[in-house]
Chains A and B, each alone.
Chain A
Amino acid sequence: MHHLSNNKPHPPKWINTLLRRVCKPHLLEEIEGDLEEYYQLWVDKYGIAKANRLYILHGIKFLRPFALKKSKLKISNPRIMFKHNFLLTFRNFKRYKAAFLINLIGLSSSLACVCLIYLWIDDELNVDKFLEKDNQLFQVLQNVERADGIETIEATSGLLAEALANEIPEIEYSTTVVPGSFNACKGVISISDTRIKSTGQYVSKDFFQVFSYQLLYGDKEQVLSEKNKVVISEELALKLFNSTEDVVGQTIDWKAQDITGSYIISGIFEPMPSNATVQFDLLLSYDLFKEFYPLSSWANHSPHSFVLLKEGNLMMQLNDKIKDFIQSKDANVRSTIFLQQYSDRYLYGHYDNGLVVGGRIQYVKLFTIIAIFTLVIACINFMNLSTAKASRRLKEIGIKKSMGVKRSVLIYQFLQESISIAFLALVMATVFISLFLPQFNEITGKQLIINFDRETVLFLFIITIATGLIAGSYPALYLSGFKSAQVLKGVVNTSKGEFWLRRGLIIFQFTISIILIASVLVIYKQIGFIQSNTMGYDRDQVIYFSIEGMSEAFLSELETIPGVLNVGGGNLTVGNQLGGTDGLSWVGKDSNEKIFFSTLWCSYNLIETLGMEMVEGQPLFGSHNQIIFNEEAIKRMGIKDPIGEIIKTGNGERQIVGVVKNFHFESLYEEIKPCAILLAPMKFAPKISVKLQKGIENTVIRKIQEVYETHNPGLVFDFKFMDADNQRLYESEKRMAILSRYFAGITILISCLGLFGLAAFTAERRVKEIGIRKILGSSVFGIVRMLTVDFTRMVIAAIMIALPVSYLIAGKWLEGFAYRIELEWWFFIGAGIAALLVAWLTVGVQTLRAANVNPTKCLRNE
C-alpha cells in the first residue's frame, strides 16, 4: 500500500453502514477488516471502479445466516406458525379467487419479463468476454480530423500494430487484422474438387497471443509464422476433410480477388462461442496480404490493430502516451489514436467527436428500466388490491390482536403471504419462459437458454423474494396497524393519505404504460420512415452477388438473359462504411484543408443499374481516368463548374465527367458525406448488381443461377436483394421495436388487470348504494358514469404526466438519426387515448354488470 498510503481510495461507505446494521456485532470487526484489506488489493489489481463493484458484491454476500443478527421477532413455535400462515394464505386465495388470479397473472408475467430481460442482458454483457486476458486486450482506434469534426474509425495504418509493439514497452503483443469485410466478397477455398466459399481474415503472426481462441492443433506461436501458413476452423476442417485428424500439413488453394496461391494448414482452432462478435473460419498471414497490397503508408486506413497490454492498469497512461504516435511518424497525417477495451466495443460502439458515447449499452439500460417498471407495476397491483380489500380481513386482524398477537408477527404473516404468492408466480413464470423462449430468441436473434446454474437460481430467488417483500411491505404495515378495538367494532377510518397513495400508484402505473405506448409508436414510425426512404437510389428488384474470378463471357451471357434490365458492378453495399482517401487535390484547393472522400469503385453501368440521378454530365464510360463526385463533394471542394476539371489523385490525374445527386451510401444515422465514384478494374469492384424486370424476378434469378453455375462449377450462387440488405442494416432497431412493443403490451395488460380488480371491488362495495340509486330512478348510464368518473380522472392525470416525459424521451432517441421523422402531436395523444380506452373497457365491463344489478336482490339482506 506503499505509495497510496496518504491518499487511499475509499470503498463505498453504505456497505459498511448496511453491514453494521444487520451483522452480529462481534463478527463485524473481522468482516469489515477483511473486506477493507481485500479492497486495497483489488484497487491495485483492477482499478477503483472494479474494486468498488467487487466490494459491494462481496459485502452483500455477507448477508447470510451465520453473520446476520438474530431477528427480534420472537415466535415461540415457528414451525407451527409457518404452517398456520400457509393455511391462512391458502384459504384466502381460495376465498378470493379473482384477486388471487389477478395477482398471480400480473406477478408471473412480470417475473417472466424480468427473467427474459435478465437472460438477454446477461448475454449482451458477456459478449466477447470469454477471451482470456480480456482486461488487457485493447483495440486501437483512430480519431481522424474532418472538416465537420472528429470521426472515429476502426481502420488504422497497416504499420501501426507492429510499430506499437516494438516501441511501446507496455504492450506485450500486437496484431494486425485485415477483417473479412475488406474483400468485398468471400474467397474460395479449393482442394481437388471441393470448393467452398469462406471469409478469410489476414492476421499477423501474434494473433493467437493477443486473442485467446483455442487451438485444437498447432502451436500458437508458430501457426502463422510464415506467409504460406493458414489456420482453419474445426468446422471448415470437417467440411473439407470430414475429419480434423491429419489435416495439419495439408495444402489448400485460396483465391480471393488478387490473392491466389496454395497454402499449408498449420493449425485448427476450436469453434467460437456464439457470443463472439467476429466470426471467421480461415486465417491467413498478413505478410501474404502485404505482398499484394503493400499498405506501407501511415495515411492509409485499412486493417484493424489490436494490442495486448502487460498486466496492471496501463490503459489510461498509455492513451496519453500513444495519442500522437501516428503524427510522430508522419506529420502530415492528422489523426490521433486511442485504446478501447476489445470486449467493450460491442456495447460502447458509438463515438462522437472522438469520445465514446455509448452504443448498445443504451438498449441494455432501456430494458433494465423496462424490467424494473413491469415488476413495480405488478407489485403495485398487489398493494392496491390487498389494501383495498383490507375490510375483508379486519375480523381476523382484530381477533388476533385482541388475543395478544404482536404487530411484528402480523407483519411476518402478511409478508409470508406475499412471498408465497411471489413464489407461485415464479413457478408460473418459469412455465411462461420455457414456452416463450424460442420466440424471444427469434426476436432478439440470440441463442439464449435457461440453464439453472448457481447465478441464475440465485438471481431468480433474490428477485422473487424482493418482489414478495416490496409487494407485501405496504399491505403488511397497513393491515397490521389497525387498532383492534376499532376494527372489531367495524370502524375503519381510512385516512386521506392512504386514499391518495392508492390513486398515486394507479396514476404511476398508467404513466409508465402511456410512455411505453408512445415510445413504441415513435420507434415504429421512425423505422418505417427509414425503410421507405429511397436513399437516393432505387434498390427495388436489384440483386447483387459477388464474383469469384469470372469471365467476360459470363457477363455478356448475363446481359442476354431476358428480364435482366441492367448489369452493373461496384463495391456499394448498403450501409457499410466505404473506404476512402483524403489525398485528392484540385485547382484552387486550400492547402490546409483535408476533405475525406469515400470512394465508390464501380464499373460501367452501376449508376444506371441503381437508377442514380445525374445532376450534371454523364455516367462513367470509356477510359479509366474519369471521376464522378456527389453534390456534397462538389460543394465542399468549392468548384464552380466541375465538368472537365482535373483532379490529382495519389497516382495520376482524373477528369470530372459528372456530378451525381446525393445518395445515402451509409446508414441513415450518418449525414451524407463527400463521395468520389471511380471506374474500377473488376478486381476492385467484385460485386455484380443486376436490375431485374418486375414481376418475373424468380424466373430471372433461376436463369442467372444456371448461368452462374455453368461458369463457376461447384460454387453456390448466393445473392442478396438490395432492399433486404437495407432492412438488415436497421435490424437491431427493428428487434428493439418488436421487443418494446411486447413489453409495452404486457405493462398495459398488467396495469389494466389491477384496474380491473379495483373496479370490481369498488362496484362490489358500493352495491347497496347502487341499489338505492336505482330505486330512486337513476339510469344505468348514470351509474356507469358515477363509477367510471374516478378512474377516468386518474388516467387523464397519468396522460398529463406521461406526454411531456415521452416527448422528451422520443426526441432524445431520434437525435441519434441524421434523418428522422418529425414528432407529431398525435403520437402522444394517440397513446393517451389508447390507454384511456383500454381503461374504460376494463372498468366498463365491471361497472355495467354492477349497474344492471337487480335492486331487490342487493338490498334484501342487511
Chain B
Amino acid sequence: MRKTYIGELEEVILLTVAILQEEAYGVAIGLHMEQQLNRKLSISAIHATLHRLSKKGYVSSSMGGATAERGGRRKRYFKVTTAGCRVLNEIQDARNLLWSQVPSNALTT
C-alpha cells in the first residue's frame, strides 16, 4: 500500500479544522492560525492545503448557507474524516513514542 504522508502545514490545518468543528471554513481557519500560532498564511495557501487534504481523503466538505458579508456567497465547511482522525492520532502516537525516548537532559535549553 502506498503510504500517504502528511506535511507539517497540512497537519496544523487539519488540527485547526478539528478544533473549529462546525465553523471550519477558509477565513475562520486563517484567523485561528493567526491568533493562536501568530502564523500568517495567504488565503490561497490555506485553500491549497485544504484541497490537498480532501484529495488525500482526510477532510470532507460541504457548502453552507449564503451570508451577506460575503456578498451572498456560500462558505465551504470542512470536517475531519475518519481517515483524518486516524492520521492525526498516528502522528501524535509517533511523537509521544519518540519523546518518551529522549533522555531527560537532552533538550534542556
Contact = CB atoms under 8 A, between A and B. Distances in A.
Contacts of A320: none
A58 B43 CA distance: 7
B48 A35 contact: no
Interface stretch (B66-74, B88-96, B98-106): B66-74
A40 B31 CA distance: 13
B70 A36 contact: yes
A29 interface: yes
Interface of B: 25-27, 30-31, 42-45, 47-48, 51-52, 63, 68-71, 73-76
- Say what secondary structure dominates the interface of chain B: helix
Given A30-B26, A38-B27, A67 B47 contact: yes
Contacts of B47: 27, 30-31, 34, 62, 66-67
A32 interface: yes
B58 to A, nearest CB: 15
Contacts of A860: none
A37 B51 contact: no
B70 A38 contact: no
Contacts of A64: 44, 48
B73 A36 contact: yes
Nearest to A57: B42
Given A1-B69, A38-B27, A66-B52, A33 B44 contact: no
B61 to A, nearest CB: 9
Contact of A37 (B44, B45, B69, B76): B69
A34 B46 CA distance: 11
Contacts of B43: 31, 34-35, 38, 58, 61-62
Nearest to A1: B69
A30 B44 contact: no
A36 B69 contact: yes
Interface in A590-637: none
Cβ-closest 3 pairs across A and B: A33-B73, A33-B70, A34-B26
A842 to B, nearest CB: 47
Given A58-B43, A62-B44, A34 B27 contact: yes
Contacts of B70: 32-34, 36-37
Contacts of A41: 27, 31
Contact of A66 (B27, B31, B48, B76): B48
B27 to A, nearest CB: 5
Find the residue from B63, B70, B75 having the highest chain A CB count within 10 A: B70
Nearest to B61: A30
6 contacts: A31-B44, A32-B71, A34-B27, A61-B44, A62-B44, A67-B44
A37 B48 CA distance: 18
Contacts of A35: 43
B99 to A, nearest CB: 31
Given A30-B76, A38-B27, A66-B51, A58 B44 contact: yes
Nearest to B29: A34
Contact of A33 (B31, B45, B52, B71): B71
Interface in A27-63: 27, 29-38, 40-41, 57-58, 61-62
A37 B52 contact: no
A62 B26 CA distance: 13
A793 B75 CA distance: 62
B35 to A, nearest CB: 12
Interface in A11-39: 27, 29-38
A38 B42 CA distance: 11
A38 B30 contact: yes
A64 B44 CA distance: 8
Given A30-B75, A37-B69, A57-B42, 17 more contacts: A29-B73, A30-B25, A30-B26, A31-B43, A31-B47, A34-B25, A34-B26, A34-B30, A34-B43, A35-B43, A36-B71, A38-B30, A40-B69, A41-B31, A58-B44, A66-B48, A67-B48
A64 to B, nearest CB: 6
Contacts of A66: 47-48, 51-52
Nearest to B72: A33
Nearest to A40: B69
Contacts of A34: 25-27, 30, 43, 47, 70
B43 to A, nearest CB: 5
A62 B42 CA distance: 9
Contacts of A67: 44, 47-48, 51
Nearest to B74: A29
B29 to A, nearest CB: 10
Find the residue from A29, A33, A64, A66 having the highest chain B CB count within 10 A: A33
Contacts of A33: 26, 70-71, 73-75
Contacts of A61: 42-45
Given A66-B47, A66-B51, A37 B42 contact: no
Contacts of B51: 27, 66-67
Contacts of B63: 29-30
B75 to A, nearest CB: 6
Contacts of B31: 41
Given A36-B71, A66-B47, A58 B26 contact: no
A29 B76 CA distance: 9
B23 to A, nearest CB: 13
B69 A30 contact: no
A596 B61 CA distance: 71
Contacts of B52: 66
B42 A30 contact: no
A394 B74 CA distance: 53
Nearest to B76: A30
Given A35-B43, A38-B27, A58-B42, A30 B48 contact: no
A27 B55 CA distance: 14
A31 B42 CA distance: 12
Contacts of B75: 30, 33
A371 B31 CA distance: 38
Contact of B73 (A32, A38, A57): A32
B66 to A, nearest CB: 9
Contacts of A5: 68
Contacts of A36: 69-71, 73
Nearest to A60: B44
A29 B71 CA distance: 10
A27 B69 CA distance: 18
A37 B47 CA distance: 14
B67 to A, nearest CB: 8
Interface in A558-578: none
Find the residue from B27, B43, B44, B52 having the highest chain A CB count within 10 A: B44
